[in-house]
Structure 1
Amino acid sequence: MEEKFLQIDGHKIRYLESGNSVQTLVLVHGLGASAERWNNVIPIFSKNFKVIVPDLIGFGYSDKPLLDYTPEFFSDFLHKFFIESAINDPFVVGSSLGGQISAEYASTRPSNVKKLVLVSPAGIMKQSTPALDAYIMAALYPNEQNAKNAFEMMEGSGNAVHSDIVSGFIERMRLPNAKLAFMSTILGLKNSDPLTEKLQKISAPTLVIWGSDDPVIPITYADSFVSSVEGCRFFRMDGCGHTPYVQDPKTFSSRVMDFLNEN
C-alpha cells in the first residue's frame, strides 16, 4: 500500500492506494475510523482492482476543520475526492457511516457509481444502542479500557480485539479537533432525514451486507435498505458484528468480488 495526500478546499486529505487495475474500488470507512479499518481486505481486493481508501475529512490522518459534518457535506466531499484523484465510474464499498455517505452520493449522482456495496449502513436508525454509546464514550475519553470495551461490544462475538485496532483508535481520537469532528458528525446524523426516499433514487446495482450479530446497527434495519433500493441484493454474514470485513475478511471479500465481477 502507498500512502498519498491531496488537497480539497485547502484541507489535506490522506488516502491509501494499492493495486494497478484499470477498475477502481473505493472503500469508505465509518464513524471515528480511518483507512486502516480495511487493512484485512485491501490486499485481497488489490489483486483485481486499483483500491483507493480515503481517510474521510475530519477522521483518521486527514485534516479536521471546524465545520458542520452532515451527511450532505460528506457526500460532497466524496465527490470532490473523486475529482481530485481522477476517479471515474468507481465501484464503491461503504461501511456504517461510510455506507450512508456512499448511498447519499449514489442517490444524488447515480451515473457516477458503477456498483455499490453497503455494509451495515447508517442512515435509517435514529436511536442509539449500548454498543454505539460505548463507542461514543471511547471517542470522547480515548483510553485503553474504554476503547477495548467499545470494540469488543461492536464485534459482537465476545472475542478479544487486536491491540492495533485499540491503540490506533486512541491515537487518532487524541489528534487536534478529532473529538469535535466526531461529535459534529453524530449531531449531523441525528438531525438528518432518514435515507429512505433517497435510497429509491439509487440506480447502481447494489448489495447490502450485514453481520447477523451487529450490536451497533442491528440487522433488523437491513430490510429498509433492501426494500428501498430497486433490485438490491442482500447477504447476511453469520457470526459477525458491525465490521464483517474485519472479522471474516475472506468470506466478505469473496462475496463482494463475486458481486462486482458479475455482468
Structure 2
Amino acid sequence: MPQSQHEVSYLTIHGHRRAFVKVGSGPVLLLLHGLGCDHTTWAPVIDTLARRYTVIAPDLLGHGLSDKPRADYSVGGYANGMRDLITCLGIDKVTVVGHSFGGGVAMQFAYQFPERTERLILVASGGLGPEVSPLIRSITTPGFHPLMGVLTLPAVRHVGKLGLRTLAKVPSRHTRDLDEVAEIYDSFRDPAARHAIRHVVKAVVDWRGQIVTMADRAYLTQSMPMAVLWGEHDHVIPVTHAARAAALAPGARVEVIPNAGHFPHKDHPQRFAKIVHEFVRSTPAASYSRARFRALLRSGRQSEASDTLAGSA
C-alpha cells in the first residue's frame, strides 16, 4: 500500500487489529474506501475536510494495514465493524461517506444503525444495480487466486505496475483510474489480502454482476439526508446508477462530476470537498425515531422500489 500521509492508529476489536486515521475536529465524517483500496484513497481530501470536521478513515478488515483474518466479509459484517470502531472511539453519530464497495457498507450501516447515522453520502457506490466491471466479476472465478499468485511475482508485478502507471499518464478518460488500479494490483501480492478480497467480492457479486442492492430498502432514506456523487466517465460502475439512485430515493441530492472517473475524490479533490461541505452544512442531521422507522417499515414500499430498479436495468 502507498505510504500514509497521516498518522495511522490501531485498535484491536474482537481480536483483530483495525487500522485507521483520525484527524480534525467538529462533526464526524466516516470515510469508507472501496474494494482493494485503503484509507490512503482519501488522502487528497482528508486535510481539506479536517478543517471543519473530525475525519475518520479506516482500513476495512482485509485491506491495507488492518488484519486479514478468516472472518465475516459481508456488508453487514463490515457495518458492524464500523459501529464497533466508532463506539471504541467514543463517537455516537457520524455522517458516513462510502466509495464503491464502501458505499454498500455505508448504506448497510445507515440501515442497521439509523440512530447513529446523521447523513449518507455515496460516491460511485455499489448496490444500485447489477452492472459492474468484468474485472471485478473475474475475482469470483476459481482461477483468480492462482493467476494472481503468478502475476504478483516480484518481476512480473514490477513490470505490471510500471505499465499501469505509464498508461495512467496518458490524457484519456479510459486511463485516468489506472494509477489506483496499480496500487490495488500491488496489494494482491499478499495471499491473505487476495483471499480476503475474493471473500468480499463473492458476498456481493456473481457472474451476472452485483447481487446486493438497496432497492428493497431505499424507501427508508425518506428520513435521512442522502447525497450521491459520481464521475461522468466511470468505467467500473456506470454513471447511469446515479440516475437509479435518484429514482429509488427521490429526496437524494445527485451530482455527476464532469471529467472524473471512478475516483472523483482524487480527480477533483477541492470540488469533492466543497460538495460534501455544502451538503452537510445545508442539511439537518437525521434524528432517529423508532416510531417513524416502524411506520416506514410497515408502509411496505419495498416492491415499488424493486420495480423501479428492475425497470431501469
Using the size of structure 2 for normalisation, the TM-score is: 0.75
CA deviation map 1:173-223 (0-9, x unaligned): 223410000000110012654221122223320000011110100011112
CA distance in 2, matches of 1:168, 1:215: 17
Shift of 1:162: 8.3
Corresponding residue for residue 250 of structure 1: 270
SS at match of 1:26: strand
Map 1:109-128 → 2, pairs under 5 A: 109-128=113-132
CA distance in 2, matches of 1:119, 1:156: 21
Whether the aligned pair in 2 keeps the contact of 1:28 and 1:92 (CA below 8 Å) is: yes
From 177, 184, 199, the counterpart of 2:199: 184
Corresponding residue for residue 100 of structure 2: 96
Equivalent position amino acid for 1:99 in 2: G
Map 1:1-263 → 2, pairs under 5 A: 1-19=6-24, 21-130=25-134, 132=136, 140=148, 141-142=151-152, 143-144=157-158, 146=160, 149=164, 152=168, 157-158=173-174, 165=180, 168-190=183-205, 192-202=211-221, 203-229=223-249, 231-263=251-283
Equivalent position amino acid for 1:11 in 2: H
Q: Which has the higher helix share?
A: 2
Deviates more, 1:52-61 or 1:190-199: 190-199
SS at match of 1:5: strand
Q: How many residues align?
A: 260
SS at match of 1:169: helix
Shift of 1:59: 0.7
CA distance in 2, matches of 1:183, 1:200: 31
**1:80–1:156 Cα change, 3 Å:** farther
CA distance in 2, matches of 1:57, 1:249: 25
Shift of 1:9: 0.8
Unaligned runs of 5+ in 1: none
Whether the aligned pair in 2 keeps the contact of 1:209 and 1:235 (CA below 8 Å) is: yes
Whether the aligned pair in 2 keeps the contact of 1:206 and 1:233 (CA below 8 Å) is: yes
Deviates more, 1:5-14 or 1:187-196: 187-196
Equivalent position amino acid for 2:49 in 1: F
Shift of 1:229: 2.6
Aligned sequence identity (%): 26
Using the size of structure 1 for normalisation, the TM-score is: 0.88
Higher Cα radius of gyration: 2
**1:199–1:7 Cα change, 3 Å:** farther
Corresponding residue for residue 303 of structure 2: none
Shift of 1:131: 5.5
Shift of 1:172: 3.0
